[in-house]
Amino acid sequence: MQKRTLGRSGLEVSALGLGCMGMSFGYGPPGDPAEMTALIHAAVEAGVTFFDTAEVYGPFTNEVLVGRALAPFRGQVVIATKFGFQIDPVTGQNSGLCSRPEHIREVAEASLKRLGVDSLDLFYQHRVDPAVPIEDVAGAVRDLIQAGKVRHFGMSEAAARTIRRAHAVQPVTAVQSEYSLWTRGPEQEVLPTLEELGIGFVPYSPLGKGFLTGKIDESESFASTDLRNILPRFTPEARQANRALVELMAGIGQRKQATPAQIALAWLLAQKPWIVPIPGTTKLTRLEENLGAAAVELTTADLRDIAQAAAQVTVQGARYPERLEQMTGR
């Protein structure tokens, strides 16, 4: 697996990481811990060194899973986790955003224990909290870095102006936001800002929450606990309309002997050398397929064809319901 450096931070990771959320949360019932551990081990053996989790995934259980699975590989891998919500430690009830400095310190201590590490490699603010000045958030993480409890500061779904303000207090190593062929918002302001400031970019849901694999059509039904049930982009009507994007990637894939998922990931890798997508999966076959994208080389002509074809497709449906969408782009 090729390596990439997140911006000018010096943090080197595999060109493709592994998003671990779905192993415990979000896409139906949690996976079997033994099977998920085996999957994480297979990723390490394939050269993946970058793993993404968060306290809210579960809540808490995903950090425990990832920490235990990666215990044999301490010092060889980078684990990213996140703060930013007020979660009851007993009930797991999430009562909303909270990035107060004292809470950030509490979350850091708890995440260190759950992950079984001495220092958090990359500590993202999961969502910008409008009730707390971003300078205070960056300052709290700076203090944790100085104390040796955190190595790198990250942000998720933040607006360019907010990233600038935070970066002035504590350099931001990476920004994580949704980005794929059907979610292009970061191209407008965020990516140019990151390039200017020397910050890496970590696209989550790089396969459109599974849709860009081509395996989900309008007749697909999801488990009751699957978050896609509430996403406007996953109504049957939107899925039917958005098939055009998958067909575009399938056509390119036939030329390159690659699957639609591999084309979608290869397209992301081709955008900038400091972009590191983190596709998630609970299946070994999908892991192998996703990692195969690193070997797919898209030429300038391929990228031009994709751009021209994608410009003809209008993606239907918002990516989040309004309540969740309001938490992004602050």
Cβ 136 vs Cβ 118: under 8 Å: no
> Is 330 part of any domain?
no
Please give the Cα distance from 87 to 97 (Å, whole number).
9
Residue carrying the six token digits 């209008």: 314
Cβ within 8 Å of residue 256, ≥6 positions away: 262, 263, 266, 296, 298, 302
Please give the Cα distance from 57 to 310 (Å, whole number).
32
pLDDT of residue 230: 97
Residue pLDDT tens, the chain, 330 long: 999 999 999 999 999 999 999 999 999 999 999 999 999 999 999 999 999 999 999 999 999 999 999 999 999 999 999 999 999 999 999 999 999 999 999 999 999 999 999 999 999 999 999 999 999 999 999 999 999 999 999 999 999 999 999 999 999 999 999 999 999 999 999 999 999 999 999 999 999 999 999 999 999 999 999 999 999 999 999 999 999 999 999 999 999 999 999 999 999 999 999 999 999 999 999 999 999 999 999 999 999 999 998 999 999 999 999 999 999 999
pLDDT of residue 320: 97
Cβ 9 vs Cβ 202: under 8 Å: no
Closest CA to 134 of 103, 105, 111, 168: 168
Closest CA to 289 of 253, 321, 325: 253
Polymer length of the chain = 330
Q: For helices 134-146 and 160-169, what crossing angle results, to 10°?
A: 40
Please give the Cα distance from 83 to 99 (Å, whole number).
7
> Is 33 part of any domain?
yes
Q: What CATH number corresponds to the domain at position 117?
A: 3.20.20.100
Cβ 203 vs Cβ 185: under 8 Å: no
Q: Which secondary structure element, helix H or strand E, spans residue 3, and what is its range?
A: strand 3-5
Question: What single string gives the DSSP state of each residue in 254-275?
Answer: HHHT--HHHHHHHHHHHH-TTB
Note if 57 is an active site residue: yes
pLDDT of residue 90: 93
> Is 106 part of any domain?
yes
Which two structure tokens, joined as six digits, stand for 194?
A: 């990151």
pLDDT of residue 275: 98
Domain membership of residue 247 as a residue range = 3-325
pLDDT of residue 288: 98
Antiparallel, parallel or unpaired: β 50-52 and 18-19: parallel
> Is 44 part of any domain?
yes
pLDDT of residue 315: 96
Cβ within 8 Å of residue 314, ≥6 positions away: none
pLDDT of residue 103: 98
Q: Which entry of 57, 124, 204, 320 is annotated as an active-site residue?
A: 57
Q: Which secondary structure element, helix H or strand E, spans residue 174, and what is its range?
A: strand 172-178
What's the number of domains the chain is made of? Answer: 1
